[in-house]
Structure 1
């Protein structure tokens, strides 16, 4: 059975019941369909709260978080610490054997600094799947936070430093490592067009027009860009759907349509 990578973040992390319901569905996937699952998460809402408590302000550029180096201890502590371990603890309550990880563990991914002046923000590249392969074979649920590490390619001056990674990009890397299906969960039922209707599928050309018109904006822009990157790399469609009806995930692997399907350019 092909693995399934599920990315979560944002509002679901503030709703304990919704997270529990999603993890219960993941347990059913493992038990009833023998589907290996990896859960990848961000947690911008928690990061914002912890930065505010520490006296820092949060800024974004094109939907991506600006990350001054002095904020990384707080951001890594929030994502790889508080959020990651809360998900692991909740997973254990529904019978899952969860293991909390970051992109840096097991040399899963190596990062380079984002060149767009975002600070300690990394662009991840898939490296080794050995750790994930071992955990999935043993029926664990890897829970991967979007904290990465700068690699040593070209003897980069920042090698070994921790960086913040967009969680959608982190999910793409994990998907590439495992040749897995990818599901990006958000707090809406999919991508809307300019009339406010949800689209069953979306091509890159359509997305460009919606972004240009401001229909797709902010964090959704980053999510859609990551989804198209994944779809084009994997040469298959990617689902963007809501975590508010997690039972739909049980039908996804049987070919049912949920949310908005992101169509790779080679299939458009």
Structure 2
């Protein structure tokens, strides 16, 4: 198998790990000890957003496992993700001397966005554009921490699904991709964790309702990345971050999403 050490590693985090400081520190500690490996963290933070929206008197709606983002909520969501969550992760990383720096998708014009056609409000679809900022930061030994807030060509802010954001960053850098989730991978019809999953199998499980909610968006994002990069993409649990080293050694972890 081709050696992976020459490629950056994009790790997407979100969910419960952002509410468990000890789990985040454990993951960051594993990243710190990766040898000769540049890492970019891409994050969501739906749990934090839900809490802030509730405090402001807003309700949360999702379609197809994706957050509906009315214009009235985008400033609050942007502040939560690009502000509170991003800076908390950066602070935790820098407490371990990881030289982290916080970014959003539109910083350095690295990712451009178009408005989603799924009637989700201010939700963006990310498109790769310019890797210069990330290239410079990685060359200088920084660890970019990228929030899933982007912008349209007219400057309007948009909320981007964090899995899609991670895929876009991965494509921009021709990197390896690891989508971390709250469970050990994708489950099959019998409730078992699947070692691998291709597009036909995924479509069947989605139509049966076996893959549902946020996992649908995650699997679709992983399939897109696998097909465009022509290599498998791992969906694995953040509760076992030590497995990241296994991934870099060419071993399968979690569920390997396969290209067509």
Q: What is the distance in 2 between the residues matched to 1:14 and 1:236?
A: 32
Match of 1:253 in 2: 248
Query: Tell me, what secondary structure is at the counterpart of 1:56?
Result: coil
How much is the aligned-residue C-alpha RMSD, in angstroms? Answer: 0.6
Q: Deviations over 1:23-65 (max 9, x none)?
A: 0011111xxx210000000000000000111111110011000
Aligned to 1:6: 11
> Following TM superposition, by how much is the alpha carbon of 1:69 offset from its aligned partner in structure 2, in angstroms?
0.5
Shift of 1:241: 0.3
What stretches of structure 1 of length at least 5 have no aligned partner? 152-158
1:228 corresponding residue in structure 2: 223
Matches within 5 A, 1:8-157: 8-29=13-34, 33-151=35-153
Counterpart for residue 156 of structure 2: 161
Using structure 2 for the length normalisation, give the TM-score. Answer: 0.97
SS in 2 for 1:71: helix
Deviation, 1:160, is: 0.7
The answer on 1:189 being equivalent to 2:187 is no
Deviations 1:81-113 (A, max 9, x none): 000000000001112100000001000111000
Tell me the CA shift for residue 256 of structure 1. Answer: 1.1
Give CA-to-partner distance per residue, 1:155-179, whole Å, 9 cap, x none.
Answer: xxxx110000000010011001100
Give the structure 2 partner of residue 156 of structure 1: none
1:116 Cα shift? Answer: 1.2
The secondary structure found in structure 1 opposite 2:252 is coil
CA distance in 1 between partners of 2:186 and 2:120 (Å): 26
- SS where residue 38 of structure 1 aligns? strand
Counterpart Cα distance in 2 of 1:112 and 1:177: 17
Whole-Å separation in 1 of the counterparts to 2:199 and 2:140: 38
Where 1:83 maps in the other structure, the secondary structure is: helix
- Distance in 2 separating the partners of 1:81 and 1:105: 14
Q: Secondary structure at the match of 1:40?
A: strand
* TM-score, L = length of structure 1: 0.94
Q: For each residue in 1:120-140, what CA deviation from the matched residue of structure 2 results, as whole angstroms up to 9, or x when unmatched?
A: 000010000000000000110
More helix by share: 1
Residue 206, structure 1, aligned to residue 211, structure 2: no
Runs of 4+ with >3 A deviation: none
Q: What is the SS of the residue equivalent to 1:239? A: strand
Secondary structure of the residue that 2:192 maps to in structure 1?
coil
Provide, for residues 204-223 of structure 1, a one-character-per-residue CA deviation record: whole Å limited to 9, x for no partner.
Answer: 11111111111100000000
The alpha-carbon deviation at position 250 of structure 1 amounts to 1.2
